[in-house]
């Protein structure tokens, strides 16, 4: 209760400062009243949905949108807060000076009036994230992008020169609210005409049943050499309060069965070989392994029992911290590792080829895109779906297409 009281007091302070900017710009009482009506509705809906909320009870669309609209208002108001506080840096000392120098002889309020142009600039700037977040909720979460890479390896078997891999990750099917958009994305994947489709974990948020409304759509995925998948941290059902361990175990088994019915060959610390012209490529799939309290079920040694040292290897591992801590320095040379997990935090700014930023970089060293260290590549897919915040801003849902080429690698 105390925590909520502190939260509401802080939010009220932010709200009051935001209103100061609006009041400086317009004296229209209807506009001012609308500000408070919208603010009270959003914060009321947020409190209603999250008071007593326990993540283990499940996260619904209702929770997601309550959180999304709360963020849509909070971020712009924080910008207004900073602007108004910045102005108060000058207004408060000036008011104190007038109080002690002019006393009762001062004309009017000790505080100087807020300057309208500062409020207008602050409102204009705050409108940008407000509109961006609303766009992210309405359209951004289905703004699928196909990102293409060409990687050259000297030891790639000649039979696989030009081999195309499509990677998707972090479907989080329980978050979807538009079947047609998901169907469009599956068609977009198939249009890439890749040789193999690899899925790197988190098919659901928590429960296998989340996948059932989309099972038929995902069953339309097609690739010459098949579909392969691994598990992500959300697939194990660890974030739900199950009535028993048996129920939790059955949920995981149901999810495995659903993936296999779709057509995925689920790799549980296992490997497979794709053969062409007497040559082969090794696909290695490990269970989830991640730092920061995430499940560490991945076992590279077990997964590579059948793999030889000179095999060309593609590793599927959901969490990129596995590559950072274990894979890139492993004696086995994993040519290409495919991960996901971070979602790029579903928020950031990207100018392809020039600039890339997201708060995700404060948590993950490798958080989105292609990385190359010592001839070992890691691709961190930004995710196909979304989680918690019901949208994406600047970090769009991703379908990765990687073409493997044989050739001389220059330093």
Token pair for 61: 């669309």
pLDDT value of position 110:
53
> Which residue in the block uniquely carries the two structure tokens 């500062």?
118
pLDDT of residue 131: 97
- Which of 373, 336, 292, 7 lies closest to 156, judged by CA? 336
pLDDT by residue, tens only, the chain of 411 residues:
788 999 999 999 999 989 989 998 898 999 999 999 999 999 999 999 998 887 777 788 999 999 999 999 999 999 999 988 888 777 777 777 666 776 665 565 655 567 788 889 999 999 999 999 999 999 999 999 999 999 999 999 999 999 999 999 999 999 999 999 999 999 999 999 999 999 999 999 999 999 999 999 999 999 999 999 999 999 999 999 999 999 999 999 999 999 999 999 999 999 999 999 999 999 999 999 999 999 999 999 999 999 999 999 999 999 999 999 999 999 899 999 999 999 999 999 998 888 999 999 999 999 999 999 988 999 999 999 999 999 999 999 999 999 999 998 876
Q: CA 118 from chain center: how many Å?
A: 34
Sign of the alpha-carbon dihedral angle for 76, 80, 83, 89: negative
Edge-first strand listing for the sheet containing 196-199? 145-153, 398-406, 163-168, 196-199, 227-229, 264-266
Distance of alpha carbon 123 from alpha carbon 93, whole angstroms: 25
Cα–Cα distance, 376 to 329 (Å, whole number): 10
pLDDT of amino acid 190: 98
Report the C-alpha gap between 25 and 14 in whole angstroms: 18
User: Measuring CA to CA, how many Å separate 407 from each of 155, 162, 402?
Assistant: 8, 11, 15
Residue 399 phi, psi (nearest 5): -120, 115
Q: What is the pLDDT of residue 308?
A: 95
Distance CA 128, CA 395 (A): 16
What is the C-alpha separation between 64 and 153, in angstroms, rounded?
43
Strands 349-351 and 355-357: antiparallel
Residue 112: what pLDDT? 57
Q: Are 382 and 368 in contact (CB under 8 A)?
A: yes
Strand partners, 373: 376
Radius of gyration of the chain (CA): 26
Residue 40 tokens read as: 């009270």
Backbone φ and ψ for 373, nearest 5 degrees, come out as -135, 120
Q: Please compute, for residue 300, the number of CA atoms within 13 A of its CA located in the half-sphere on the CB side.
A: 19
| Domains defined for the chain, CATH in brackets | 2-138 (no CATH), 143-406 (3.60.21.10)
What is the three-state SS of the chain? CHHHHHHHHHHHHHHHHHHHHHHHHCCCHHHHHHHHHHHHHHHHHHHHHHCCCCHHHCCCHHHHHHHHHHHHHHHHHHHHHHHHHHHHHHHHHHHHHHHHHHHHHCCCCCCCCCCHHHHHHHHHHHHHHHHHHHHHHHCHHHCCEEEEEEEEECCCCHHHCCEEEEEECCCCHHHCCCHHHHHHHHHHHHHCCCCEEEECCCCCCCCHHHHHHHHHHHCCCCCCCCEEECCCHHHHCCCCCCCCHHHHHHHHHHHHHHHHHHCEEECCCEEEEEEECCEEEEEEECCCECCCCCCECCCHHHHCCCCCCCCEEEEECCCHHHHHHHHCCCCCCCCEEEECCCHHHHECEEECCCEEECHHHHCCCCCCEEEEECCEEEEECCCCCCCCCCCCECCCCEEEEEEEEECCCCC
Q: What is the reported pLDDT for 94?
A: 72
Q: With b meaning 16 or more CB within 10 Å and e meaning fewer, what string describes 220-256?
A: ebebebbbbbbbbbbbbbeebebeeeeebeebeebbb
């Amino acid at each position: 209760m105390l925590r909520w009281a502190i939260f509401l007091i802080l939010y009220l302070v932010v709200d009051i400062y935001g209103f100061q900017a609006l009041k400086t710009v317009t004296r229209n009482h209807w506009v001012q009243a609308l500000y408070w009506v919208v603010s009270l509705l959003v914060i009321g809906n947020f409190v209603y949905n999250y008071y007593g909320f326990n993540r283990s009870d499940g996260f619904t669309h209702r929770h997601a949108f309550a959180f999304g609209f709360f963020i849509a208002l909070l971020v712009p108001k924080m910008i207004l807060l900073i602007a108004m506080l910045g102005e108060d840096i000058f207004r408060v000392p000036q008011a104190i000076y007038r109080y002690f120098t002019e006393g009762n002889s001062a004309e009017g309020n000790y505080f100087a009036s807020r300057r309208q142009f500062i409020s207008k600039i602050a409102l204009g700037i705050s409108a940008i994230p407000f509109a961006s977040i609303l766009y992210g909720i309405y359209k951004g979460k289905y703004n699928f992008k196909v990102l293409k890479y060409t990687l050259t390896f000297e030891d790639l078997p000649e039979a696989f020169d030009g081999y195309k891999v499509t990677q998707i990750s972090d479907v989080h099917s329980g978050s979807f609210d538009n079947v047609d958009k998901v169907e469009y994305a599956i068609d977009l994947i198939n249009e890439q005409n890749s040789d193999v489709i690899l899925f790197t974990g988190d098919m659901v948020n928590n429960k296998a049943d989340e996948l059932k409304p989309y099972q038929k759509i995902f069953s339309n995925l097609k690739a010459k050499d098949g579909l392969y998948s691994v598990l992500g941290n959300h697939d194990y059902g660890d974030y739900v309060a199950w009535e028993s361990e048996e129920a939790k175990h059955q949920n995981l088994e149901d999810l495995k069965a659903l993936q296999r019915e779709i057509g995925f060959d689920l790799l549980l610390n296992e490997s497979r070989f794709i053969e062409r012209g007497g040559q082969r490529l090794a696909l290695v799939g490990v269970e989830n392994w991640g730092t920061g309290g995430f499940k560490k079920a991945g076992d590279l040694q077990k997964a590579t029992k059948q793999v030889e040292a000179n095999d060309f290897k593609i590793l599927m591992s959901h969490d990129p911290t596995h590559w950072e801590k274990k894979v890139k320095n492993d004696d086995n040379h994993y040519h290409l590792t495919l991960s996901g997990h971070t979602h790029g935090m579903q928020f950031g700014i990207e100018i392809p080829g020039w600039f890339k930023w997201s708060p995700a970089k404060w948590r993950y060293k490798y958080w989105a895109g292609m990385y190359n260290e010592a001839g070992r590549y890691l691709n961190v897919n930004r995710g196909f779906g979304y989680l918690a915040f019901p949208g994406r801003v600047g970090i769009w849902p991703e379908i990765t297409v990687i073409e493997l080429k044989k050739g001389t690698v220059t330093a």
